[in-house]
Amino acid sequence: MGDRSEPVSPAHGASLGPALLGDLSSKVRKPAYDRSALKPGIAHIGVGAFHRCHQAEYTDDLLAKDFDRWGLVGINIRPPLLGQTLGRQGGLYTRLIRQNDEVEARVIGSIVRVVDSQDSAAPALEVLSSPDIETVTMTVTEKGYCHIPSSGALDLDHPDIVYDLANPQAPRSVPGMLARALELRMASHGRPVTLLSCDNIPANGIILGNVVRTIAERRGNGLAEWTAANVAFPSAMVDRIAPATTEADIDTVERRFGYRDSAVVVGERFRQWVIENRFAGRMPRWDLVGAAFVDEVTPFEHLKMRVLNGAQTTLSYLGVLGGFEHTFEAIADPLLATFVRRMLMEETLPTLMPVPGISPPAYAEQSLARLANTAIRHRNHQIATDGSQKIVQRLLNPIRDRLAKDESIALLSVPVAGWMAYLVKASARFGRAWHVSDPFAEKIAAIAERVGADSNELANTILAIDAIFDPSLAAHDTFRANVVAALEGLLSENPMAFVKYVCTE
């Protein structure tokens, strides 16, 4: 194969680190700035594959273009202990771009260090309260905000929030940790800071502001007032498909480029970052390297979450039900491809606001083409994870907009029922078809145990979960009828026959 005929790199078999940079093959792009002059200026919470493929790459571009003090300090709050792995590599890692047959490698140098803060918040708090840190970005997943998906308010019954309100100095939740960091900033240097959410939740800056402010108000020590005057919570839309790294990705780097990298990440070529232009203090000039600073993020956010993420979520549930492992395999199926294209074109696109500079149908076609990229092995079960935290912004909000205008929701209701069927089929009563991870998995399994196979009662009992389904939506007759019919079809022996039936209606 082509791989074997490539010249062996001088770095052959060695592990990535600063000492190896000079020996890497010329095919690997390297940081184009003096890393030893890098000073911490940005903290990022949640240093997973997405961050390393997205914000850290934009920052690497920025450092090469207009060197400033914007080194990144990563804060890892969940396993694995990435701080150790990246620490051994001096913060360096490889970002592979994979587009069908193309493989492009680049070593990213913007991360100065990563602290592991899984067991105690102390290392994270030390970074977040440092006067050097002027911008804090985060990718902590939808459920990291501890908000109620249907309303956006802080979930005061969430066990970590209950704990953090009682133990403000040793927080366990992200909102609790941020509130404590702001308190430490207020009590020491008092410097302003921007807290920038990069997660796929609707109006992410508003939700982040809500959850942090709710905790701050309860402190009663002036923190709420200080926060109002010194902290900005801009919203942002972020985009690049970057699935969890696998051993095969690590092997690809070794085979093709001749060195070991335990922290490699893989993404598609496409990337986008639209940030609301509302900052406290200085902000890294990511707008110089392709990000857009705009006054209003909402149209971009709706476009991305309803079209790209909506299609991913749809393909994940229907894909698992149809026996497909990855997104690219689900979309290669003519029936699922037809279904998802029709859903986007007929039902989703009419709900969008005008988006400056973007044609929604062209964006939808481009999104479908991105999902068909055979080199991005995004598991349907990975995307299906935490669906209870995703379906509001991806499916229920466009459904609500359509119902308000009396428009059909026959297609958009199918993936909503798909999410239900996915969790129901994971219950013991339905034979534990697969293992799932969702904060509402247990609750739905309990409903499945109690109700059994009656789709009407199953759907209606799940629709009564008001943390996910706003009661006015759940009470809507058209919505209920569509979800019940779709759940019945998807729980039948042949769920794809139901999808076909909907497609030919």
Q: Site residues (CB under 6 A) for ligand CS2?
A: 200, 239-241, 309, 312, 382-383, 390
Helices (H), 334-493: 334-342, 360-371, 380-384, 391, 397-404, 413-424, 441-451, 455-463, 471-474, 477-490
Enumerate residues 6+ apart whose C-beta is below 8 A from 113: 40, 73, 74, 83, 86, 87, 91
What whole-number distance in Å separates Cα of residue 208 and Cα of residue 308? 23
Contacts of 206-211 with C-beta under 8 Å, sequence gap 24+, read: 206/152, 206/233, 206/235, 207/145, 207/147, 207/152, 208/138, 208/145, 208/175, 208/178, 208/233, 209/233, 210/147, 210/152, 210/153, 210/154, 211/145, 211/146, 211/147, 211/154, 211/175
- State the sign of the Cα–Cα–Cα–Cα dihedral 464, 469, 473, 476: negative
Tokens of 373: 């990229």
Backbone φ, ψ for residue 237 (5° rounding): -110, 130
Q: Which two tokens stand for residue 37?
A: 């002059």
Whole-number Å distance between alpha carbons of 101 and 375: 7
**What is residue 192's three-state secondary structure?**
coil
Give 380-402 as a DSSP string: HHHHHTTGGGTHIIIIIHHHHHH
The token pair that represents 100 in the structure block: 């069908």
Residue 43: its H or E element: strand 40-45
Is the separation of the CB atoms in 206 and 162 below 8 Å?
no
Give the tokens for residue 163: 């704990």
